[in-house]
């Protein structure tokens, strides 16, 4: 993943529809976890090692963020191993251009203010501080004793002395805010209680790593986290939890194409409602010791889906499930309750012939006679994956542009899809610099 963002932006995927996905695919560590584990390494001086690290663009960008803070980062891409050597006194100002590339880089805010007493992090993706998610971060850090303000397009948090434990109620179970406050709380003086905390498996993974580093945390995986602050943490080696969103993407692809896919390392327990919905849609699913198998035999049946915080249906699988519903046998209603802009994807799916209509937080999907290849644009990581799945069942050739988004979250996507039988190739519009 050494190519830069500008180089990748001129690449596209060309997909010829009509093939089944058949075979095995291995799921790497989770994008939504590893980036936060990398941020957590800042909490302890010394050498932290992460394993099962996915070969995705976001890991490259986050590595550069950490290097800018004074860490030495070494990466064994083939072995999925990443080592982060954190200095005794890391920097506290994260590079603005890098932070704006990936929203997850705001996760360095909590560790830096807890460890250094000060943190300066650019507003990720140009978000205003009044947005729901960042507002929750700011209010929580303020309760821990930090003074947070916006200066020059960046969030600046300062604390004279040590953060102080506090009781914090989150207005919404924000994953990012839960993670930032959790990482700040482990070094705060006294006890911190986070109520209405996010419960995603990636939160539990972060808790496991922080506990191994010497943190004292109760309630991992529940809506209430109790953190007894400690004076210092130690570096560790930690294996990243498997990526449930990648696993879910391949599972939906197997059903859509009438395929038969064994998803190695996929944890069925992390995809409870997703697999239940796929069974309702007609999938046959067998849970095995090291993953699960998904078989699709007939045209998928229509299902209704509502996205919610975990353990509800994940918003990160919304585009993929809409693609599934576009070829189902009946009308379905999909409701998005987490993000406001997910339905941008629907405009692109419509170009392939999908029959759908958006109305606020809802999209009504009616069965299309057929999908037909066209040129479509990937607007984000999951939208890109959803368009590729739709292209697999569309007649003719589909071009998916802006595929650097897909590279941000799916390791070896073209290679894995090709190994499963898909007719997909990466094309560059000009020589990569």
Give the pLDDT band of residue 122 (cuts 50, 70, 90): confident
Q: Which two tokens stand for residue 189?
A: 């003086």
Quick check: 7 pLDDT over 60?
no
Name the binding residues for phosphoenolpyruvate: 31-32
Give the pLDDT band of residue 133 (cuts 50, 70, 90): low
**Distance of alpha carbon 39 from alpha carbon 105, whole angstroms:** 8
In order of their start, the domains of the chain are 5-27+242-428 (3.65.10.10), 31-239 (3.65.10.10)
Name the binding residues: 31-32, 103, 316, 338
Closest CA to 17 of 410, 371, 426: 371
Q: What tens digit of pLDDT does each residue of 194-241 get?
A: 999 999 999 999 999 999 999 999 999 999 999 999 999 999 999 999
**Distance of alpha carbon 38 from alpha carbon 105, whole angstroms:** 10
**Distance of alpha carbon 429 from alpha carbon 322, whole angstroms:** 29
pLDDT at 347: 94
Number of helices (H) and strands (E) in the chain: give both, helices first.
15, 23
pTM of the predicted model over 0.85:
yes
Q: Edge-to-edge strands of the sheet including 224-228?
A: 167-169, 191-195, 224-228, 216-218
Residues 365, 356 contacting (CB under 8 angstroms): yes
Residues 403, 432 contacting (CB under 8 angstroms): no
Name the binding residues for UDP-N-acetyl-alpha-D-glucosamine: 103, 316, 338
Mean pLDDT of the chain: 93
What residues are annotated to the active site? 127
Residues 6, 246 contacting (CB under 8 angstroms): no
**Distance of alpha carbon 251 from alpha carbon 233, whole angstroms:** 39
């Amino acid at each position: 993943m050494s190519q830069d963002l500008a180089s990748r932006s001129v690449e596209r995927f060309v997909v010829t529809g009509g093939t089944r996905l058949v075979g095995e695919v291995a799921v790497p560590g989770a994008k939504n976890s590893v980036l936060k584990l990398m941020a957590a390494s800042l909490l302890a001086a010394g050498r932290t090692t992460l394993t099962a690290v996915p070969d995705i663009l976001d890991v490259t960008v986050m590595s550069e963020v950490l290097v800018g803070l004074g860490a030495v980062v070494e990466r064994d891409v083939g072995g999925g191993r990443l080592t982060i050597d954190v200095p005794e006194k890391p920097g506290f100002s994260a590079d603005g251009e890098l932070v704006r590339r990936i929203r997850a880089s705001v996760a360095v805010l909590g560790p830096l203010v807890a460890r250094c007493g000060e943190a300066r992090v650019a507003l990720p993706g140009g978000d205003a501080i009044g947005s729901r998610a960042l507002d929750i971060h700011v209010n929580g850090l303020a309760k821990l004793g930090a003074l947070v303000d916006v200066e020059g397009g960046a969030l600046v948090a300062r604390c004279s002395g040590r953060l102080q434990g506090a009781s914090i109620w989150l207005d919404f179970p924000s994953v990012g805010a839960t993670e930032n406050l959790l990482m700040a709380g482990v070094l705060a003086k006294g006890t911190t209680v986070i109520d209405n905390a996010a419960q995603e498996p990636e939160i539990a993974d972060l808790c496991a790593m922080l506990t191994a580093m010497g943190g004292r945390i109760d309630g991992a995986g529940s809506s209430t986290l109790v953190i007894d602050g400690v004076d210092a943490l130690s570096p560790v080696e930690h294996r990243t939890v498997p990526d449930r969103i990648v696993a879910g993407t391949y599972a939906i692809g197997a059903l859509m194409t009438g395929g038969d896919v064994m998803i190695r390392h996929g944890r069925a327990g992390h995809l409870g409602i997703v697999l239940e919905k796929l069974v309702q849609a007609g999938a046959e699913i067998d849970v095995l010791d090291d993953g699960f198998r998904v078989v699709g035999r007939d045209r998928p049946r229509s299902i209704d889906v509502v996205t919610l915080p975990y353990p509800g249906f994940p918003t990160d699988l919304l585009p993929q499930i809409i693609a599934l519903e576009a070829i189902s046998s009946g009308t379905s209603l999909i409701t998005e309750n987490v993000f406001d802009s997910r339905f941008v994807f629907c405009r692109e799916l419509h170009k392939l012939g999908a029959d759908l209509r958006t109305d606020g937080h809802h999209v009504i999907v009616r069965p299309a006679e057929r999908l037909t290849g066209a040129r479509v644009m990937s607007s984000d990581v999951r939208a890109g994956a959803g368009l590729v799945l739709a292209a697999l069942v569309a007649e003719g050739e589909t071009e998916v542009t802006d595929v650097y988004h897909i590279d941000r979250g799916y390791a070896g996507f073209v290679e894995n899809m090709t190994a499963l039988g898909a007719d997909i190739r990466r094309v560059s519009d000009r020589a990569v610099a």
